[in-house]
Structure 1
Amino acid sequence: MKENHRKVLIKIQEADSILIGASNGLSISEGIHIFADDTSFQENFGDFREKYGFRSIIQGCFFPYPSVEKKWAFFSRMYEYFLINREASPVMKNLYELVKDKNYFVVTSNIDAHFTQAGFQKERLFEIEGNCRNLQCSHGCHNRIYPGDDVLRKMAQNQENGKVPSDLIPKCSECGGQMQVHIEVDRNFLRDQNWQASFEAYQDFIEKAHGKKLVLLELGVGARNQMIKAPFMNVTNHEENATYITFNKGGELYIPDAIAAKSIGIDGNIAEVLQQLVQMK
């Protein structure tokens, strides 16, 4: 195992470019599991669980709340859980420490905004499904995303009986209609200019890495998350000097035969692996 860790570290240190792909497994290694009815969910969202019957944060994101006051109670609570009074985790700090001096880019389906919190540059980040701290018009009446930190924080701190005060609920400045958190929970999810620019920056990063030593570092991406996994495997297959490195747990670790010779799989706890790599650095 240690030999594999050493190989990973050498590949990262020698790389001209590092493309990071991250999904739920990385969040889970931080102690945040949006799909689980775990102790953390019950402690932080127990009142919603009891009232509405949903059993995870992700179910809460898709739940049809009986009123906007109750809907915003959940989404501002989620924002609070992800970000308020929560410093960047050791997991994210270690990941940043590993790549901060390299030419890196991050593509992630995580919505917790933890990459920017840990110091990763916004210009080097593509959050495919948005994040919990931004807002958009729920009707998509105009193509713009707004920072929501202030209003989300206020709503999180002024909840009573599972509701937020009506006067704190954000309204669209253009149509006067409802706003929603900019995460992909329905067909109204906006792919605005910033989203498009991030997507283009991701494509551009891959193009510029052509022919060079490229490491594709995949962290906790499940087999079903093909929007990250498929492009990573495809690039590895076509780039002569690419190395595919995947960190995952047990049954989620998968490397196809076509790229096996250019791949390293680390089976285990992502938090522990990153800690070990930083200590070896």
Structure 2
Amino acid sequence: MAADYPRCAELIRQADGLLVTAGAGIGVDSGLPDFRGPQGFWGVYPALGRARIAFEQIANPAAFARHPRLAWGFYGHRLNLYRQTIPHDGFQILRRIAEELPQGAFVFTSNVDGQFQKAGFAGERVAECHGSIHHLQCLDGCHDGIWPADDFQPELDEEACLLRSEFPLCPRCRGIARPNILMFGDWGWTATRSEAQEARLHAWLRQVRHVLVIEVGAGTNIPTVRRLGERLPGPLIRINPTEPELSPDRGVSIAAGGLAALRAIDAYLP
């Protein structure tokens, strides 16, 4: 509702630090696919649909052991897509809001796409609780190192969702590498990078006296992002077109897409 936006502007003026919490919904306005439901997922990956392979089955370390070219076909496509995607203007609106606050901004996201860093947010102010597709680790866990995926340029058979080029390899054992992403049924994820990011987040929060949380596109299916904002003592602006529910005494609920809502908020700022 338009009447909510002046209150958003007032909450921003009262804050000294901005915590942006974001789920997959923030990427929709950049053209990134929404995997909600099997039909939406299979619409993007028809080869997986024909094989009746669900998102939870391919986004799973067992898929790398069972069919590594298919698993890397899926993740290689996502890596190429995220590298090509241009973050929408809402990211810049969030950056401008943060620039006016004494403690700036920190980002907490379940997304693995690196879009906040690509939009200009400082890497040391981003916490990726599920890891990053732009980093790799050993599939077999021969060591706990994490390294950038910059040198991996996947060539794909997109129709079959298969990796055609060589696998990325672990520099130590020369076995297959996997994305440094927390997958379903994943006991082998190396979490040290994400843990260091979250330690920096909590150190930043201790410096902020009046934190404002702006949550964009975070759903209830995996509620990690929503719960963080709800636990903090400051006000919360929740932007979500389908799951905007929020108690009025907790903050502002906006039933809209991320870009539209952020543009509307921006219109009420100086």
- Matching residue within 241, 253, 263 for 1:249: 241
Give the aligned length: 262
Which amino acid letter does the alignment assign opposite residue 279 of structure 1?
Answer: A
Give the alignment's Cα RMSD to 1 decimal.
Answer: 2.6
1:271 paired with 2:259, answer yes
1:164 paired with 2:155, answer no
CA contact (8 A) 2:58 2:71 kept: no
Which amino acid letter does the alignment assign opposite residue 246 of structure 1?
Answer: R
In the superposition, relative to structure 1, how do residues 187 and 143 fare at CA in structure 2: closer, same or farther (>3 Å)? same
- Matching residue within 232, 235, 240 for 1:235: 232
Measured after TM superposition, the shift of residue 108 of structure 1 is 0.6
**Structure ranking higher in helix proportion:** 1
CA contact (8 A) 1:109 1:128 kept: yes
Distance 2:224 2:261 in 1: 24
Measured after TM superposition, the shift of residue 33 of structure 1 is 0.8
1:115 paired with 2:116, answer yes
Q: Calculate the TM-score normalised by the size of structure 2.
A: 0.85
Q: Any gaps of 5 or more consecutive residues in structure 2?
A: none
In the superposition, relative to structure 1, how do residues 164 and 264 fare at CA in structure 2: closer, same or farther (>3 Å)? closer
SS, match of residue 150 in structure 1: coil
In the superposition, relative to structure 1, how do residues 110 and 160 fare at CA in structure 2: closer, same or farther (>3 Å)? closer
SS, match of residue 162 in structure 2: coil
CA contact (8 A) 2:57 2:63 kept: no
Which amino acid letter does the alignment assign opposite residue 154 of structure 2?
Answer: M
Q: Any gaps of 5 or more consecutive residues in structure 1?
A: 237-241
Which amino acid letter does the alignment assign opposite residue 110 of structure 1?
Answer: N
Measured after TM superposition, the shift of residue 35 of structure 1 is 2.8
SS, match of residue 63 in structure 2: coil
Q: Calculate the TM-score normalised by the size of structure 1.
A: 0.82
In the superposition, relative to structure 1, how do residues 38 and 98 fare at CA in structure 2: closer, same or farther (>3 Å)? farther
Q: 1:8 aligns to what?
A: 8
In the superposition, relative to structure 1, how do residues 165 and 106 fare at CA in structure 2: closer, same or farther (>3 Å)? same
Measured after TM superposition, the shift of residue 149 of structure 1 is 2.8
Measured after TM superposition, the shift of residue 128 of structure 1 is 0.2
Residues 156-177 of structure 1, C-alpha deviations (whole Å, 9 max, x = no match): 35779543346x2122112222
Measured after TM superposition, the shift of residue 206 of structure 1 is 1.8
**1:80-119 to 2 correspondence within 5 Å?**
80-84=80-84, 86-102=85-101, 103-119=104-120
Distance 1:280 1:171 in 2: 50
Distance 1:159 1:223 in 2: 31
Q: 1:176 aligns to what?
A: 174
Q: 1:76 aligns to what?
A: 76
Distance 2:128 2:161 in 1: 29
Measured after TM superposition, the shift of residue 227 of structure 1 is 2.5
Q: 1:46 aligns to what?
A: 46
CA contact (8 A) 1:97 1:278 kept: no
Q: 1:221 aligns to what?
A: 218
Distance 1:77 1:262 in 2: 39
Residues 197-250 of structure 1, C-alpha deviations (whole Å, 9 max, x = no match): 2111111122222xx2221111122234443333322222xxxxx212111224
